[in-house]
Amino acid sequence: MTTGAAAPSLAALAAAYRDGATTPTAVTEGCLGRIDRLDGRIGAYLAITRDAALADARASEQRWRDGRPLGPLDGAPIALKDVLCTRGVPTTCASRILERFVPPYDATVVARLRAAGAVILGKTNLDEFAMGSSTEHSAFHPTRNPWDLQRVPGGSSGGSAAAVAGGLALAALGTDTGGSIRQPAAFCGVVGLKPTYGRVSRYGLIAFASSLDQVGPLAVDVRDAALLLEVIAGHDPRDATSVAAPVPDYTAALGDDVRGLRVGVPDEYFIEGLDPEIEAAVRDAIAVLRDRGAAVERLSLPTTGHGLATYYVIAPAEASSNLARYDGVRYGLRVEGRDLIDMVSRTRAAGFGPEVKRRIMLGTYALSAGYYEAYYGQAQKVRTLVRQELDAALARVDVIAAPTTPGVAFEHGAKADPLAMYLNDVFTIPASISGLPAISVPCGFSGSGLPIGLQLIARALDEPTLLRAAHAYERATPWHARRPALG
């Protein structure tokens, strides 16, 4: 697919509002018009909050006119992954079992965006309950990659990534459990940031795996990701896993200078099965950092090779526990039966899709009597080893550089085998099970014109260094400015 003009960044948008070059209403109307024209082909959204978005845009316009904006996100049209509770708006997790669920409250991250003046355009599509790597497992419709409509956008935050890549939103929130922000960001040629576990509140996030889930931004560039993180980060007493640490000025950490930065390159991330075009693009990206003054050294992280198997024990086990609440009794879908047990069984059979059922069964087995210690207990021990190994490496270097994905976006239906699908997460999972911050930034294109992502991983709560390295690379290369030509 040919490339189109780059979408405006959030930072540029704020400057345009300040100068009177455009207005929040005009920009919001432009996004809604683009959704009307294009989303029938892309399928990025599950719900559009048109009237509320226009009302919020008009209120923002008045604040800018009065010289009282709420901040750089005031009037910015943003989309939300449909796992984030949004007051008065259906929040379905792309599942039939929550098809008619309308939360009476906002998730903390949604409330913080509203307080910053952001305009919420709607809710984006995902793999059901965030379980997938392609956004083919939505109960409602698949999402397509704006670079090639025959290919997937990645997952599970595929709707958010496709919306940003296609200009159907200027930024979006997604969630990352095993790579669900970074992998679709790589597939769609945008920036995707998974913050440190606990850096962003999970209150109001409908859980998949509670020890892994983390909310983060998808954006057109690193500065926009930093702006979003500044707004949504911070301690929340309603989330017991929220970290009580001050929120840095993330945009102040950005710059072009990486002299003295130590970059580690792990051998285990350049393995058999890695697309040669991706390896070449990532190694070229690392060379760019070296040429700008970073010190690059090889690392060995042998335990991370067990990350994939570890994740696919822990995450389904936690999902089995979390999804037990969907029983047809209190909210969501209800299918009547002969008695309570029959009603619950019928409700879950009708409400959950095949991939969700598969993971619930895997997780229930791993937690069952006689198998708990052999599977879940052992996986938690290996998880500790992976974290210790990454921590030791990050005591030597400032960031780890690696591919985000082993391949580029694949065609719809190409990975019907679950194991083949799970292997898409092989490079993103180690940071997830370790709770470390990681980012994917565009670093090139394949010969067929599909985006490639560079992944950077940093120490816990060291998002400033992570963003500094990503921004310096971005400033030295043109890849982030390319957008698909959709009309």
* Cα distance between residue 111 and residue 105, in whole Å: 9
Q: Is the pLDDT of residue 3 over 90?
A: no
Domains of the chain: 3-258+469-484 (3.90.1300.10), 305-381 (no CATH)
> From CA 122, how far away is CA 78, in angstroms rounded?
8
Structure tokens at 44: 């990025």
What is the SS3 assignment for 368? coil
Contact of 221 with 479, CB cutoff 8 Å: no
Please name the residues in contact with 33: beta carbons below 8 A apart, sequence gap of 6 or more. Answer: none
Full-model pTM: 0.96
Q: Strands 77-81 and 171-176: what pairing?
A: parallel
Mean pLDDT of the chain: 96
Whether 145 has a pLDDT exceeding 70, the answer reads yes
Query: Any idea what DSSP says for residue 450?
Result: -
pLDDT tens digits, 300-351 = 999 988 999 999 999 999 999 999 999 999 888 999 999 999 999 999 999 9
Residue 156 annotated in active site: yes
Per-residue confidence (pLDDT) for residue 306, from 0 to 100: 95
Alpha-carbon torsion, ordered 305, 422, 324, 127, to 10 deg: 140
Residue 416's pLDDT is 85
Q: What is the mean pLDDT of residues 23-28?
A: 98
Which one, of 121, 135, 113, lies nearest residue 164 by Cα? 121
- pLDDT tens for residues 174-187? 999 999 999 999 99
d(CA 153, CA 382): 31
Task: From the candidates 9, 156, 160, 440, give the one annotated as an active-site residue.
Answer: 156
**pLDDT for the residue numbered 247:** 96
Q: Is 381 a catalytic residue?
A: no
Q: From 198, 246, 249, 197, select the one nearest 227 (Cα to Cα).
A: 249
In 3D, which of 308, 471, 460 has the Cα closest to residue 395?
Answer: 460
* Pairing state between β 483-484 and 3-4: antiparallel
Q: What is the pLDDT of residue 330?
A: 84
Residue 167, pLDDT score: 96
**SS3 letters across 94-148:** CCHHHCCCCCCCCCHHHHHHHHCCCEEEEEECCCHHHCCCCCCCCCCCCCCECCE
Q: What is the pLDDT of residues 389-435, one digit of tens each?
A: 999 999 999 999 999 999 999 999 999 888 889 898 999 999 999 99
How does DSSP assign 194-212, residue by residue? Answer: EPPTTSB--TTBPPS-TTT
Q: How confident is the model at residue 4 (pLDDT cuts 50, 70, 90)?
A: low
CA distance 81 to 215: 10
Neighbours of 257 (CB within 10 A): 11
Which residues 6+ apart lie within 8 Å of 441 measured at CB? 191, 222, 453, 454, 456, 470, 473, 474, 479, 480
% of the chain exceeding 90 in pLDDT: 93
DSSP 259: T
Sign of the CA dihedral 240, 246, 251, 256?
A: negative
Q: How many helices (H) and strands (E) does the chain have?
A: 15, 13
What are the DSSP calls for 278-322, one per residue? HHHHHHHHHHHHHHTT-EEEEE--GGGGGHHHHHHHHHHHHHHHH
List the one residue out of 269, 45, 281 whose CA is nearest residue 140.
45
Note the pLDDT of residue 487: 66
User: Is 180 among the residues known to form the active site?
Assistant: yes
Q: What is the mean pLDDT of residues 107-117?
A: 98
Catalytic residue among 133, 134, 157, 180: 180
Mean pLDDT on 139-166:
98
Provide the pLDDT for residue 229.
98
Residues making up the chain, counted from first to last: 487
Render pLDDT for 315-324 as a digit per residue (tens, 0 to 9): 999 999 999 9
- Residue range 242-257, pLDDT digits in tens: 999 999 999 999 988 9
Which residues in 349-450 belong to E strands, given as ranges? 399-403, 438-445
Which residue is associated with the tokens 């299918």?
A: 335
Percent of the chain beyond pLDDT 70?
98
HSE of 152 in the Cβ direction (CA atoms, 13 Å)?
Answer: 31
Please determine, for residue 54, whether its predicted confidence score (pLDDT) is greater than 60.
yes
For the cut 70, the answer to whether the pLDDT of residue 5 exceeds it is: no
The catalytic residue among 81, 123, 194, 415 is 81
Render 411-430 in DSSP notation, one character per residue.
BTTTT-SHHHHHGGGTTTHH
CA angle (196, 199, 205) in 5-degree steps: 100
Burial 226-237 (b: 16+ CB within 10 A, else e): bbbbbbbbbebe
pLDDT at 1: 42
pLDDT average, residue stretch 131-154: 97
For residue 162, how many other CB atoms are within 10 A of its CB? 36
